[in-house]
Structure 1
Amino acid sequence: MPPKKKEAKPVLTFKKADVEVLSSRIAFDGPLFRVVREEVREPGEKITQRDVIRHNGSVVILAVYDSSRKDPLIVMERQYRHAAGQYLWEVPAGKMDEGEDRLAAAKRELKEETGYRARKWTKLVRYFASPGFLGEWMQVFLAEGLLEGEAEPEEDELLEVVLVPLSEVLRMIDAGKILDGKTLVSVQLYARHRGRKR
């Protein structure tokens, strides 16, 4: 019998790409984001034109009510999203103000949208939502030890806030009823981490 081979683990390297920006101009400048048109020399010496949406960044809050429960409750929001043309189920999130600290932004957004404050905050994951054209990255925070309060949504935010058992949120994901990327990422990562701890 031949000796067992060790399974090779993939090596992930993270290094900054060697890119030269040859020209850059603002094609659109709005209150939420700007679009920058750039001519760049990308790796492999290829010169190409890219339109990139630049944004201050966003925070995502996976707020868990009583995480000690076997099936903890997740703070979920239902709101109309015009770009998607439908109502979506989402976890709380929001854009950062220029120069704002990410944790401070997460605390502000959770209180504004839901009224909740949290005793414990943990960074969960950071990711790019759509790096083909969007320069924004999103920081997901886990918020635990929730305290109830009054929500203070912005004028254009019409939110239905509900507590949903984690098992039900996962069922909704499996059934294709949750389509929001930040919710898919944060809830499934949290569920996986909980499974490891058992």
Structure 2
Amino acid sequence: MPKQIAAPAKKTTRRRGKAEVLSSKLAYNGKLFKVFKDQVREPGAEDAHLREVIRHNGSVVILAVDAKTGSRDPLIVMERQYRHAAGQFLLEVPAGKMEEGEKRLPAAKRELLEETGFRARKWTKLVRYFASPGFLGEWMQVFLAEELTAGQAAPEADENLEIVMMRLSDVLEMIHSGEILDGKTIVSVLFYARMLDENRKQKRKTV
């Protein structure tokens, strides 16, 4: 039987630039976000198309890690809350919407304290991503919060949160089994777990 040879990947031209916005109309102005109807001509396209886009001040995500009991399998600060849009309770890492004019790191510190009562001495940017770029203009910045100290939480009136401390290994197992469905939690925890694994490999190489 002849040996199968994989075809080389086709080279693609990366399209750059921004869309030409021909018109933009505010269709909805809500408490948390605005919806715009934009007529746009996107890069590489000849015709204009209608795009409905949700915009707001932006959000931050906090992966709060307590490694006092061991750095190989640290505790992760998780929240369990009911999400009406999803129609169920979800396990999530802390996150929240930025106030108008607020910077991302101060917003992350504020959200962590308000929702969980924790403060962190060490803050690191992990990764940023677009949650749903087909219609949502928001991108989310994940911060790693370490060296935690506990305090008193002060969630908003409509936030009914249960704080749960979980081992990283347990969170990973629940992600792989489909028990954790929240996107920001999956992105941040998997990124962090891979980072830990890469750091351990580098340490072994230098020994």
CA distance in 2, matches of 1:178, 1:19: 36
Q: Which residue of the partner structure matches residue 5 of structure 1?
A: none
Letter in 1 for 2:59: S
Letter in 2 for 1:57: G
CA distance in 2, matches of 1:121, 1:10: 41
The yes-or-no answer on 1:122 pairing with 2:124 is yes
CA distance in 2, matches of 1:167, 1:122: 21
Q: Which residue of the partner structure matches residue 179 of structure 2?
A: 177
Task: State, as a whole percentage, how many aligned pairs show the same letter.
Answer: 66
Residues 11, 128 of structure 1: alpha-carbon distance in 2 compared, 3 angstrom cutoff: farther
Q: Deviations over 1:113-160 (max 9, x none)?
A: 000000000000011100000001100000000000000000000000
Q: Deviations over 1:49-98 (max 9, x none)?
A: 01000111000000001275221000000000000000000000000001
Q: Which residue of the partner structure matches residue 30 of structure 1?
A: 30
Q: Structure 1: which 5+ runs fail to align?
A: 1-7
CA distance in 2, matches of 1:196, 1:33: 38
Q: Which residue of the partner structure matches residue 204 of structure 2?
A: none
Letter in 2 for 1:54: R
CA distance in 1, matches of 2:10, 2:152: 48
Deviating above 3 A after TM superposition, structure 1's stretches of 4 or more consecutive aligned residues are 8-16
Paired residue total: 191
For 2:46, what is the secondary structure of its paired residue? coil
CA distance in 1, matches of 2:87, 2:78: 19
For 1:177, what is the secondary structure of its paired residue? coil
**Worse-superposed segment, 147-156 or 65-74:** 65-74
Residues 177, 10 of structure 1: alpha-carbon distance in 2 compared, 3 angstrom cutoff: farther
Q: Which residue of the partner structure matches residue 60 of structure 2?
A: 59
Q: TM-score, normalised by structure 2?
A: 0.87
Residues 62, 10 of structure 1: alpha-carbon distance in 2 compared, 3 angstrom cutoff: farther
1:106 to 91, 108, 112: 108
**Worse-superposed segment, 15-24 or 60-69:** 15-24
CA distance in 2, matches of 1:99, 1:121: 21
Deviation, structure 1 residue 17: 2.5
Q: Within 5 A, what are the aligned runs for 1:71-110?
A: 71-110=73-112
Q: TM-score, normalised by structure 1?
A: 0.91
